[in-house]
Amino acid sequence: MKAKPETTAYVSVKEYCFIKKELKGIVEASDFKWQFTWSFGKGTLFVKPPLGRALIEDSLLRFLLKKDYELEAGNEYKFIISARF
């Protein structure tokens, strides 16, 4: 039986501003690294640079929505993506 492909993504929360309703941070997975801004007041997620963005965007948004009230600036988190890259 083959093991399912997976990649661990590491999230570092840099800023969490309740006034702007924004969370900013960095997510790393494999050899990729992105900066993100999640405007939870508007429900939008911006990920840059665009290189490889499609690999992380949906999984990152699901993680952010799931862990919303647990996230704090200065902390690091991780989650598993069901794909290898």
List the alpha helices (DSSP H) in the chain. 53-67
Any domain includes 35: yes
Any domain includes 11: yes
Give me 48's structure tokens: 């840059």
Range of the domain at 17: 7-81
Q: What is the pLDDT of residues 11-59, one digit of tens each?
A: 999 999 999 999 999 999 999 999 999 999 899 999 999 998 998 999 9
Which pLDDT does position 21 carry in this prediction? 94
> What is the rounded CA–CA span in Å between residue 33 and residue 27?
6
Any domain includes 1: no
In total, how many domains does the chain have? 1
Any domain includes 37: yes
Any domain includes 65: yes
What predicted TM-score, i.e. pTM, was given to this entire model?
0.91
Which pLDDT does position 56 carry in this prediction? 95
